[in-house]
Structures are given as C-alpha cells and as structure tokens.
Structure 1
Amino acid sequence: MLIYENTKSGLLKDILSDDLVSRIEAKYAAKGLGGVSPNEKRAWRNSFQYIHKVLAGSEIPDDAGVAIEFKIPLTSRRVDLMISGRDKDGNANVVVVELKQWEGEDTERVSGKDGIVETYVGGGIRETTHPSYQAWAYANFLRDFNIQIQETPINLHPVAYLHNYEPEYRSAIDNEIYAPYTEEAPLYLKGDAVEFRDYLEERIQVGDRGELLREIADSGLRPSKSLQDSVQEMLNGNHEFTLLDSQKVVFERAVELAEQCQEDGQKRVLLVEGEPGTGKTVVAINILAELLQNDLTAQYVSKNAAPRDVYEQKLRGDMMVKTINHLFKGAGSYVDEEANAVPALIADEAHRLNEESNFFGRGENQIMEIINAAQFSVFFIDESQRVHIDDIGSKDEIRKFADELGAEIKETALESQLRCGGSGDYIEWVDDVLEIGDTETPEDIGLDYDVRLFDSPETLHEAVERKNEQTDLSRVVAGYCWEWDTDGQSDPDYVDIEIGDYRRSWNLKSSDPWAIDEGSIDEVGCIHTCQGLEFDYVGVIIGPDLRYRNGEIITDYEERASSDRSVFGMKKMFDEEPEEAQELAGELIKNTYRTLMTRGMKGCYIYCCDDELQAYLQERLDAVAE
C-alpha cells in the first residue's frame, strides 16, 4: 500500500516547505489507518532533513519515484523510504531504505543471536533487529511474494541509513557478525552521506515518475519458486513432519477447501479441534508447505511466539539467513489488512487468540481479523489450553465471526494420539485429577507412558537430566509462581526459583528458542515458553497456586508471580465480579497445569509444592496402577 508517493523533486519541495509531515499524516487519515504518534512525526522531520541533504544536488533524476511509509502486504511493517527508477542499462531498480535515529553510544552488538543488536529504543535499552537485517528482510519478503517483482523483473536494493549514528561507535553495528546482512544491505552512518548518494546515483539514473512503485503496490501475491523450493527441501526427509491417520485426513480437507476458495471466491473457515499430542502444529506446517507449492500465498499464525520460533528453527535447519521467517506471523499482524488480502492463513493455538492485537491496544478481535484477511482460514484449537486472562479463542467465537463475515464454516477433529505414549487414557486421567470437565477415571493410563511423583524438585530435575542425556529433548517446567527478574535473563548463575535447597533460573535469553536450546536442561521453562511444543520427557513443578483441601482441588491466583501477565487484571475482576473471577482463575490455573503435564511424549515427572496435593496425586496414581 502506498501512503505517500511523489517524485524526487516533489519530495524535496515538501521537505523545504515543511509540508512533508502534514502530507504524510493526511494520507494516513485518507486511507483509514488511524492517527500518527508524535514520535513518528518527529522521526519524519528529523530523518528527511538528512534525506534532503543526500538528494538535493545529486544526479538522481528529478522524476525518480519516491514512496514513504510503504506498507508491506500481509504484515504490519512499513518501509521508511523507497526510491525507484532505472540504471544506465535500463534495469528496473528500487532502493529500499531503512532510516534510524540511533546515535550509537548505547548500541552493543549481540553475539550468538542472528541479526540482533542492543540499543536504546522504545524508552529503554532493548534487543532489536539490526537495521541492515530489517531492510534485507523487507526486500526479501517482497521478492518472495510480489508477482510484479518476480516477473518484470524489478531489482530490489536494501540499504540502512543511520544519519545520527556517531562513527566512533561503528564497531558495535558494522561488525563481522552482521556481515550476512550488511553485505546484502549496506550500512551508512553519520558522515556517510556522500557514499550513500553515490550508491543511489549508481542505481537510479533514469526516472520513472513512480511507475515501478505503483506496479509493486498494485501487484497480486504469489510465492516465488525459490521460496517454494526452500520450504519443500526443508520438509523432505524430515520424519517429524510425516502425517498419520486423521492428520492426513485433515490436511487433505484443508488443501481441498483452500483450492475451492480460489475457484469460486467463497470465503471459508476450517475449524479443527485437537487434544494435546494430536499433531495440530505438524498438520498446520504441512498445510502451509502444500499451499505454497500450489502457488497460494499462505502464512502460519500463532499468538504464542514459542511454537513459531521452534518450528521456524526446525525448518530452516543450519541456515543462518532467515529465508522463511516471514511465513511465521504473530496473531496481531492483520489489524489493517483488507478483506481477502491473502489466500490462506493457518492459525495454530487458536485458543490463545486475543481481542486487542498489540501492546498499543489496536485491533478489535484477532479471530475476526484473521478471518477477514484470508480467503481461507484454518483454526486449530483446544479450549482446555486457554491459560491467559485475555485468551478469547473458542469454537463459538470462531463460528460467530465466520457467520458475520460471510464465511462458510467446516468442522473436523484430530484423533490420533501421538504424545503421552499414544495414551488418551493419561490425558483423561489428568483431566479427572484436575477436575476439568466431566471425564471419568480411566482404568489405567497406558502401559507405555511413564508418569511418576518425586519427593523433591531436586530429584525430579536430576531424573529429567538423565532422560535428556539419552534423548536431548527432555525439559523441566513449572507453574508461573516465582518472579521472573529481567536483570537475570542473560545470567546463567541467577536464581529465580527457590524451593528449599532447590535453586534454578527461569529460562534464559538465547540464540535458540528455549525448548530446543542445549543449555535449557539446566533451567526451568514456563507455560509461555513451552505451550504448543513437545518433549520426550517433561518434569512439572506444580507451584502453590494449585492445592488440595478437603477432597477438592483449590486454585489461588494470588500465588502467581506478579510478573505473570496471564492473570494481570484478575484482582480488579475479583472486586467487581468475584464469582466469575473465581471460575475464570480456576479454569486458567487448571488449564496451565493440564498443558504442562501433557508436553511429554514418553513420560511426565511431577513434584507438588503442596504436600496434600502430592499425597492426593500419589493416591490417584496408585489407584490406576493396581
């Protein structure tokens, strides 16, 4: 989507007359994109004074095309500046410019993380993507999906310009660890205006009056052959993504419906229900890959970053360059998307979807936004895994918005049990023990599933460590009942969790997602870092938010850590609607432990902080073992 478009001479005139910011703001309003923040306006005023210095008096033609805040389809991202034209040989070129206000003093390189730098942004020192990576990623996304760029062809040239960045701090950002991106997207700092101008003059020698930019903005979407080949190569031979039984049935149904949507233009929704271990994510990834092979643009969507990060990592293998990361999107990515803008969206962990779509409170409802944006959408859901006060994902909500948006809805279920030793009885036992639903006690919990209670967190952790030596995929997790201090997130010696002599850290920041990082066996994960994932063996520490008294399971949200956002706002709800609040708090806490206790494919080891709950669970285990 083009927000502000002009020629080089028109842009310079708007900058010189101080009309640029008001013109961009007016374009935002005209396109219904909401208001513009004061910070954005300050950034435009600052950055484009420097762009004026680069362009004024240059040999770049006056009729070269210019776009500011170009919205990238299927994302919430916008390109700061694009300049279009042709070189002396007639090649169609578009320069993709990422502009930054950074000054450099607070910037540090981050080793061990691909394309990440630490600097002052958003009111504090934070990790963020390197500007060259950012420019490269935008260009890469457009190459992968924009038909006009693929067929013309149009050459994209990403570049980053940090006009305030002091050269004395260059080593922090122009470092060899970022070479894969700075080689693709050159980096220019304060004092590099002449070099940046030379770069532009070499590529833009004949003006096009913005024709190439309009062609890109008006183009349809289709996955490129190189993207299709990359995804297919990653899946081939990867047995983890093999489909079994009802997984194959759901996969074929989804592909069939997606193709029907393209043929007849009817919007459709497929609702897929599946308990833990039925392979929801495996099916979702396979649907994504198949639709891309069929020339349909598709994206995998989840609110929780953990499964996105892990499956993206598993697919890309040893590649450093993230050629597929734009296929994996957060659930808040479709706030401003037009109806049916993308052929297919595959929403995993749909029970985790929210109303507001980002930290700034934008968006109405993520379910509605996904259905609206996609011609065909798939929702994988397990309502018993709603674990956050803001989780609104339910079958009824999906049905409601499908009906409101004119979508034909189909429903199916995954039945094959892959986790928990293939034992559906174990999940029924967990549901019965935690008093979730009306499940009856099974006679046994599966001869092949290893479930045990440990009398201390130390012995539990030691047992899981021994299993991890055999499989390298066993982890310890806990209820979110201990504070997660941000000061210790990169310090392996920092202690968050103390239970008697047991002292461990919550999972640390790492280059790899926690679930598959080698060092994470020494740490403890929480619901937010393991939901949607699976391990061979899982050790579960049940915190004091779940107890057993007088023959009943008792939940206590006040035992949750204050850093746990999943119960943020619960106190106010208890003051206003105590009965509803108690019911919701109980549901969230029980669902949390149900989710944690069903992460293991081969076994679950348990320790309870509450002695009476420990005794009760042992009694229940003894009963099914007789």
Structure 2
Amino acid sequence: MIVYHASKKGFIHDVFNGTIADDIDHAFLLHLGRHTSPNEKLSWKNSMMHMYKVINTPEIPDSSSIAIEYQIPLTSKRIDFIISGVDDNRHSNIIIIELKQWEQAKLSQKSGIIQTRFQHGESETAHPSYQAWSYAYMLQNYNETVREQNIQLLPCAFLHNYQEDHIISHQCYTEYIDKAPLFLKSDARKLQDFIKRHIKYGAKEDIVWLIDKGKLRPSKQLADALNSMLHGNREFVLLDDQKIVYETALSLAREAANGSKQVLIVEGGPGTGKSVVAVNLLVELTKEGVVAQYVSKNAAPRDVYTAKLSGSFRKGYINNLFVGSGSFIDTPQNTFGALIVDEAHRLNLKSGLYSNLGENQILEIIRASRFSVFFVDDRQRVHIKDIGSKASIQKFAESCGAIVHTAKLSSQFRCNGSDGYLSWLDNALQIRETANIHLSSEDYDFRIFSDPNQLFETIKEKNRINNKARVVAGYCWDWNSKKDPNSYDIIIPEFHFQKRWNLNTDKNLWIIGNKSIEEIGCIHTCQGLELDYVGVIIGSDMRYENGQIITDVTKRSGNDQSVKGFKHLLSQNRYKALQDADEIIKNTYRTLLTRGMKGCYVYCCDKPLAKYLSAQLEPLYESIPENRIEPEVNDEVKYIDFLPLYSIRAACGYFGEGELVDESGWMKVEGMGKLNRNMFIVQAVGHSMEPLIQDGDYCVFRANPAGSRQGKVVLTEHHNYYDSDYMGSYSIKTYTSKKIFDPEGNWAHEEIVLQPKNSNYSPIIIEEENADEFRIVGEFIGVLPMKSKQ
C-alpha cells in the first residue's frame, strides 16, 4: 500500500510549496483512517526537504516515480522513501531510502544493532543499513512482480543530520553497509550520484504502482521453511524489533554460559513473529554448539514441525530439538545452555496426563537452563490451567536468582500486516477499548457470512490454492465422532450443516493434512500455527445483547478440557470464576480470528452478534473526526504530544495501586501545559458535573496531586459509597472537606464532601471513620475540546 505517490515533478512542487507533510498526513487519513503524530509530521517536513535538495536536478527525470511510506505487503513495515525509473540499459530500478534524523549513535556488540537517542531516551535499534536492506529483502520475497519483471531493488540509508564519527560507519556494520550504502550529512552529492546512476529515465509504466497492484508470492510459513533453516539456509530476515529480540537473546545466551542465569521475557501479540524468532534462535544456538531445545505446551506445533522434518533428520535428533513443557520435572540444574519457550502463556503448574507431576513448569524450565527465553502473550490464555503470564514468569525467575530482561515484539506479520485489524478485533470483542477503530477491506479481508455452508465452501475454494485454509470453531459441540466415526459433531440444523471435529485421522497434523479440509479444527490444533485463510464458527458461548459481548461458559461442550473444573471454581469464588471464563472464551476467539495471514471469514450462531460485528465494519462517521483515539503512537510522542486514555477503573487501579493495566489508546493533547507521565485521560460519564464536564467528555487528570485539594475537581475511588454516574465506587466531583483539631493541634477530617456541579444530583458525604476507604486518584486539568468533523 502506498500512502503518498507522485512523480518527481509533483514531489518537488509539494515540497517547494510547503505542503508535503500535510499531503502525506492527508493520505494517511484516507488509507489508514487516522492522522499521524505531530512529531512524525515534523520529521517528514525536515527529511523531505533534504530529499528535495538531493533529487532537484535535471539529471534525475521529472517523470521518475516517488512513493513515501510504502507498506511492505503482508507486514506492518513501511519504507520511508522510494524513487523508481530505468537506467541506461532500460532496466527497471527501485531505490529504497531509509531516512533518519539522527545526530549521534553508540556501538553495540550485537550484530546489526546500534544504540541511539530518541525523544524518550536511548535505546537499541537496527542499524539503518540493516533496515533498508531487510525491507528490500522482504519486498523481493513477497512480491512476484519484482521477480517476473526483473526489477532491481537498491536499498540505502540517508542520515541527513549525522556527521561522520566512525561509529555509524564502523567496520562491524560493513556487512550491511555493503548491501545498503550509508549516506551522511556531507554525502548529499554522493546520494544524488547514486540515484542518477540508476534512474536515468522515467519508466513507461509506473514501477511502484506495478508492484503495489502486482501479484504476491504465496506466503512463506514457518513450518514449510523449517527443514531449510535447520540445513543452515536463511529463510526469514528479521525486521526491526524481531532483530533486536533475536540479537539480545543470542547475547544473553552467550553471557549465561559463563556467568549468571539469564531470563528473557518477550511479549508479542498474534502475528508478531514470536515463533519465527524462536526457531531462528534454536537454529543459531544449535549451530554455535549450545545445547538448546524448543519448548511448547501445545503439541500441535511440535508435531507439525516433526512431520515437516521427517526423512531429512534422524527421529532422535528431531525429538531432542522439540519438546513439551513438562519435560523438565527431574532435569538437573543448568543442564541446558538455552531453553526457548514458545507460547509461554500456555504453561501449566503441573505436568503429566493427570496433572499430578512436577512442581511448576515455569520454575522447572528456569532451573534446567542457564538461559531461558519465554515468548508470551497474556491475551492468548485459553485454558483454565494456563499460568504463564509475564508477571508470573518474572516472579519465578527472580526467585531463582536469575537476571530478568524484557522485550517486546509489536510489528505485525499476519492479518495482512494490519495492526488496525488487531486493534479493531480487541475493540469489537470488548477485550480492551480502542475507540474510533473501524475495519475496511483495505486493512484485511474480513467477512461475515450468514450461512455456515457458504463460509465452508469459500474456505474450501481458498484451500485449493495451496492447502493453507481451514475452518475452526469454538468448542461448543460434543466430540461424538471420536467414538462413532459415522456421527457428526458440529451440527447447525437450520442450515442442514453438519461436520466433524478434527483429530480423527490426522490428529495434531490436521492443519497440514491433505484431506482435513473436510473437518473442523479447534483452538488446540491451531494455536501457535498459521494459515493463509481461516474460517471461524463462533458458537453459542458468545452472544451480543444490550450493547455487550456476553460469554456463557455453560454453552461450552462437556468434552472441553479448557474449562474443566469451572463449577468447582464457581462454588469457591463466583466472581473470579466468571471473570476467568470470560477471559478464556474471548481469548480463544481472538486467537482463532488471528490465524489467517490473508483473510478471516466468520459465521456467528448468535444472529445479534453477527449483526453487531457487521456494523463494526462500517465507519462510525461519514468523515473522520479530528480528535481521534490512536491505538498506538510512537514512543517519542508519548507524554510529549499524546496522553494515554484509560477506563476509569484502569486509571484508579494503575495510579492508585500500581497495577499493570493497558491503555485504551492515545489522544493528542494541546493547551494543557507541559505533559508528563503522571497525566492521563478518562472519559466522563453522566451529567453530575455539568456544565463544567459533559457526558462523554475526555478529561485530563494529573495523578498524585500535591497541595490542598479544597475546591478542586478530582477523580476519586471510595469503596463504601455508590455513584450513579459510574455505577460504582468511582467519582469525578468537586472536593471539599471539614477539619477538626485536637488539643495538640493535630487535625483530622470530620467529613469529606464530593460535590456535583449539577444541582439535580446529591453530594457524596464520607464520614471521618470511613476516610481510610477513600482516596484521590487524580486532579482535573481540563476537557479536551471537541473538534469538528471534516
């Protein structure tokens, strides 16, 4: 996808007239449904002026084509600047330019990694030449048109503010600088010469447009590439955060060999490349002579990998590489150099068929290895016994005396590379609020079907391409065919639809079986694996009513081990049991709905749910409002131009008790003075503070306010009182208090009054004896102004 596209002449015109940053931002709005950050607009303005100076020569043809922020197919990565045309031999060329505003950097001992200062502080990142080369490699491998038309990709990096210091160009980066030349502040003329050598004429056809509209190669999947990887071939080039995590893990494994025990916890959502990084680590560490194993609780990925490797490697060798998470019960301390735990959120407390062996799988893995890396996504917990959260792993690692490191994978390589789809999905399933997110066909091929037969036939048609499409379902139907092969399991009578569950013949190899398209899979045979297209049947365990996604664990099949023991938990703690069940059901569907790299097709047993999801595919407004809620923004603008939006419960938890909570998004804030990390946004509910605060207003607060609160509007939490606006123990009110003094001159609250602005509402009065049940979370700063729709 091209965000900005013009001829060289058009680009020169836009820069000269000072509109280039606004033009790119407007294109962002049209293509991605959102504005970009002010800092990114400023970087465009600066960097494009430098590119203007470089290409503003008659020796580079006006008809050459420019593309800015080109999204590499099937990824969320964007190329900063592309110029295309033909050379003296009439060969089609594309020059890929990675633009940086850096002024300094520090060396790193990790291959292809460098350290530099961003607005939020110093951090490691991929070297610009590595970035440019890796983007070209990805484009070459994903786009069939590049190969068919013999288009040459020429990557380079331009750091237009960077003076040569022999750090950015250090010999340790030579491998990548040779692949993608590096141009610094004094090298504008050299970059111009580089472009002039390869772009002599404009092409008859717009080369960038040909690529953008061209044919994509069949997507490369990890299971298919595994054999080649273990034979030492490069199958995946790691991009940006993947590269950082990979090099960090290698460094820690080497450090742990002769030093302290090291643990690395890597967070990453669906499609961020957790398994790709994990297997690359396994291959490299094994090559270096480190005794390493790939560990997963779920047997399906291991069985698929084993099947793919069968015939090329000895069975014993394969079984020593890929093991279950219960394999370390009696393993002596530090037996392994490295244990690489994929899908770590699926780890259990106990092991064995009856869950009666061992002490704790997390502890056993950490003890057994000098270095262990856990790839985790807390939102993929799909079993009542799953204990592998980030917090749990960190706690157990520290208890073992390990040095704990954390990292994050955020770049999206599934779901057509659409971060927007994942944000939309979380919002639609009401897992977390990501307001103003809507889904378009440009983001991802997502469809709602009203007939399960039509969904099934459509997936079968997709499967004829390369056997990489399957239908999966929530576990709401009994597995009758296990005992009677002639029985059907998933039956939807009104459509005469009847299919069988998987595992009858292919077992854990269902996702790659030649005939398994006729069977329906479940979470246990697809988690940790991927397809090109997935069809999802949402059962009666999830429905929509009164504006809410409702989960009902009683609609799950009695065969489903994921919620076995729920009734016992219900008798012990009803609220906790229902909360766990809700999380498991929503996480299960979130996982199923993110298995498809290219598309996801859905049938809902609950008709209101289908109608609700269909409505979420339409924009909320005919045009997009200015003050948006962004699902994510660059780190350098956080608390500078943007503040996090929290639900009122999350804000009170985070700023009051230090709980780990996720923001609902980020909002641009202007006119509130200098921002800082104690500031946040909450959306007001109700009418008690009118006219100061209207229902639905986005309010900025400062946590931990100092000084007197008398007469100030505050966000409070109070456990023994009820606020009708927020239907519970939270309030936004004006604070007043009466104080009494004892004979020694010490004071105490006689009573605290939380006063509404609207006289139709009653104040909340907190007596002195209940003051311990009350706390102030934040001080009101102001309301974000509502801006008009465009």
- TM-score class, shorter-chain normalisation, is 0.5 to 0.7
> Is 1:460–2:467 an aligned residue pair?
no
Change (3 A) 1:425 1:579: same
381, 384, 390: which one pairs with 1:386?
381
- Structure 1 residue matching 2:423: 3-state secondary structure: helix
Q: Indicate the structure with greater strand content.
A: 2
Change (3 A) 1:466 1:237: farther
299, 304, 322: which one pairs with 1:328?
322
Amino acid in the other structure paired with 1:364: E
Q: Give, in whole Å, the separation in 1 of the partners of 2:490 and 2:404.
A: 46
Q: CA deviation at 1:335?
A: 0.9
> Is 1:579–2:575 an aligned residue pair?
yes
Contact 1:350 1:379 survives alignment (8 Å): yes
- What residue is the counterpart of 2:538 in the other structure? 542
226, 248, 255: which one pairs with 1:260?
255
> Is 1:285–2:279 an aligned residue pair?
yes
Q: CA deviation at 1:260?
A: 0.6
> Is 1:305–2:299 an aligned residue pair?
yes
- Structure 1 residue matching 2:617: 3-state secondary structure: helix
Q: Indicate the structure with greater helix content.
A: 1
Q: Give, in whole Å, the separation in 2 of the partners of 1:235 and 1:609.
A: 46
- What residue is the counterpart of 1:499 in the other structure? 492
Q: Give, in whole Å, the separation in 2 of the partners of 1:378 and 1:498.
A: 42
> What pairs with 1:563-578 in structure 2 (closer than 5 Å)?
563-578=559-574
> Is 1:367–2:362 an aligned residue pair?
yes
Q: CA deviation at 1:238?
A: 6.5
Q: Give, in whole Å, the separation in 2 of the partners of 1:342 and 1:319.
A: 21
Amino acid in the other structure paired with 2:468: L
> What pairs with 1:475-514 in structure 2 (closer than 5 Å)?
475-485=470-480, 487-488=482-483, 491=485, 493-500=486-493, 501-507=496-502, 508-510=504-506, 513-514=509-510
- What residue is the counterpart of 1:421 in the other structure? 416
Q: CA deviation at 1:250?
A: 1.1
Amino acid in the other structure paired with 2:525: T
Amino acid in the other structure paired with 1:406: G
Q: Give, in whole Å, the separation in 2 of the partners of 1:391 and 1:426.
A: 26
Q: Give, in whole Å, the separation in 2 of the partners of 1:560 and 1:625.
A: 37
- Identity over aligned residues, as a percent? 51
Change (3 A) 1:453 1:232: closer
Residues 32-65 of structure 1, C-alpha deviation per residue, up to 9 Å, x if partnerless? xxxxxxxxxxxxxxxxxxxxxxxxxxxxxxxxxx
Contact 1:299 1:329 survives alignment (8 Å): yes
Change (3 A) 1:233 1:398: closer
- Structure 2 residue matching 1:258: 3-state secondary structure: helix
Q: CA deviation at 1:486?
A: 5.9
> What pairs with 1:50-199 in structure 2 (closer than 5 Å)?
none
Q: Give, in whole Å, the separation in 1 of the partners of 2:516 and 2:316.
A: 23
Q: CA deviation at 1:512?
A: 6.9
Change (3 A) 1:318 1:294: closer
Change (3 A) 1:485 1:433: same
TM-score normalised over the length of structure 2: 0.48
Change (3 A) 1:625 1:445: farther
- Structure 2 residue matching 1:406: 3-state secondary structure: coil
Whose Rg is larger? 2
Q: CA RMSD in A?
A: 2.1
- What residue is the counterpart of 2:682 in the other structure? none
- The one of the two structures with greater contact order (alpha-carbon pairs below 8 A, sep at least 6) is 1
290, 295, 298: which one pairs with 2:289?
295
> Is 1:356–2:356 an aligned residue pair?
no
Amino acid in the other structure paired with 2:298: N
Contact 1:232 1:289 survives alignment (8 Å): no
Change (3 A) 1:484 1:320: farther
Structure 2 gaps, min length 5? 1-225, 623-790
Change (3 A) 1:467 1:233: closer
> Is 1:248–2:243 an aligned residue pair?
yes
Q: CA deviation at 1:584?
A: 0.6
- What residue is the counterpart of 1:435 in the other structure? 430
Q: Give, in whole Å, the separation in 2 of the partners of 1:400 and 1:436.
A: 25
Amino acid in the other structure paired with 2:520: V
Q: CA deviation at 1:314?
A: 3.1
Residues 330-388 of structure 1, C-alpha deviation per residue, up to 9 Å, x if partnerless? 11111111211111100100100110122240112111111111100000000000010
- What residue is the counterpart of 2:263 in the other structure? 269
Q: Work out the number of aligned pairs and report it.
A: 393
- Structure 2 residue matching 1:387: 3-state secondary structure: coil
Q: Give, in whole Å, the separation in 2 of the partners of 1:332 and 1:601.
A: 31
Q: CA deviation at 1:606?
A: 0.3
- What residue is the counterpart of 1:598 in the other structure? 594
